[in-house]
Structure 1
Amino acid sequence: MNMRIIVLGGGMVGLHMLTSLRDDHQVIVVEKRQDRVDELKEKFPDADVLHGDACEPSVLDAAQVAGADVVAAVTGDDEDNLVISYLSKFEYGVPLVFARVNNPKNEWLFTPDWGVDEAVCSASIIVQLVQEELTLGEMVTLLKLRRENLMVEEIQLEEGNAVVGRTIRDIPLPTKTLVATILRDRRILIPRGDLTLLAGDKILFISEPDKVEELRKLLGLV
């Protein structure tokens, strides 16, 4: 799924997101330091890099934030990231808003009330979700599960794992654990009971945190 991703903040975190995602998605970077804008444009001549203060609605208009699938507020200032998140969610209706937390003491502020769907300490979680080729709806669902104290555990099966060659219905999963989906050869499979698991399958489990260790033991991973 090709997405329009607006990265607000062109520092090291913004640079990481640009280099990781630009080949498969439309990535627009907004940075208020002119020298940094010039540096990014020199390094990536074909990249969309805009100069401006992302806390200003006129700058967000120029970046066409209203048409974004994902906004990542990753400046080095927590106050700016909160303002950007609030505007992106409530003024522009962006479906998924990530915000970088620079000072751990401020993490309690980064909530849905401020328009933040997920507070992160780095860009890694955003890059990982996008690179896993999840749809926007799937990303939102995963983040909601995290807030409801449910773990999303992705496990790739290998030859020799205890469940390889068995059907889903034959696997004695821990209580309050379910198979959400299976990725096989870049295809998403519905986890029906008669589906036989193969080496190489990526399985997405949803479970309570205290069941994850039991699940990994069942699969022969510990």
Structure 2
Amino acid sequence: MKVIIAGAGRLGTQIAQVLGGTGNQVTLLDQDDDRVAALQDGLPAEVRTGDACEPRVLEDAGAHAADLVVATTGEDEDNLVVSLLAKRQFKVPRVIARVNDDDNAWLFTQHWGVDTAVPAAAPLVSLVEEATSASDTVALLRLSKAGVNVIETTIGPRSRAAGSVLGELAVPPGIVVAAVVRGGDPMTPAPDLELREGDEILVLSHTATEGEVHAVFQ
């Protein structure tokens, strides 16, 4: 599946990490040169500088062949423009847009090219599951074709894993740590990475339950 994500903030980078890590072709767009440079080597996605509200930028990113566009910028106006361009000009089959201000939710309809509007308060899992399950290619919580579960957990103040090195945790066989997100930035889950309170952990597994994952990190 070819995916274009507009906005390389916390949400956009997390979605790129999850979708890129499950074999999808992902392009992440953002106007901030510094942010793009910082993400270049840390994501399983192509990260580009550009304003996704400009048709040329979307075209260069491959919008004509995209299966899914996800608008996750912090501005509702931008998310609506991206959605409208994706649907009307590039005929993208599936467009998901984040609603930052609940008062604007009424605008996020198919009239503006939005197939599904997701409130800003919705968790990452809900947004990506909506985006991917609707495409019949991948599902976040149950990657049906691969039989893989994706589980998200956060290191809390009482978590035993806080202060521990990732490689020293007793992670059961069959569980793979796909990403560690710290302060909104995805990090490579290297064995020598010391986990901190507030870290968000994304785990892939064929067999593990949510309880088993929490037992490792909580």
**Bigger radius of gyration among the two:** 1
Deviations 1:165-199 (A, max 9, x none): xxxxxxxxxxxxxxxxxx7995xxxxxxxxxxxxx
3-state SS in 1 of match to 2:21: coil
Deviations 1:28-68 (A, max 9, x none): 10111111101111423x63011000001110111011111
Unaligned runs of 5+ in 2: 148-218
Deviation, 1:126, is 3.7
Match of 2:65 in 1: 67
Does structure 1 retain, via aligned residues, the 8 Å contact 2:83–2:95?
yes
Distance 1:130 1:18, change over 3 A: same
Q: Please report the RMSD computed on the Cα atoms of aligned residues, expressed in angstroms.
A: 2.8
Distance 1:101 1:132, change over 3 A: closer
Deviation, 1:130, is 5.8
Match of 2:136 in 1: 135
TM-score (norm 2): 0.58
Deviation, 1:128, is 1.7
3-state SS in 2 of match to 1:22: helix
Supply the AA of the counterpart residue of 1:37.
V
Deviation, 1:17, is 0.2
TM-score (norm 1): 0.57
Match of 2:48 in 1: 50
Segment of structure 1 superposing worse, 79-88 or 24-33: 24-33
Higher relative contact order, structure no. (Cα contacts within 8 Å, ≥ 6 residues apart)? 2
Match of 1:33 in 2: 32
Unaligned runs of 5+ in 1: 140-153, 157-182, 187-222
Distance 1:104 1:129, change over 3 A: closer
Supply the AA of the counterpart residue of 2:129.
Q
Supply the AA of the counterpart residue of 1:135.
D
Aligned residues: 141
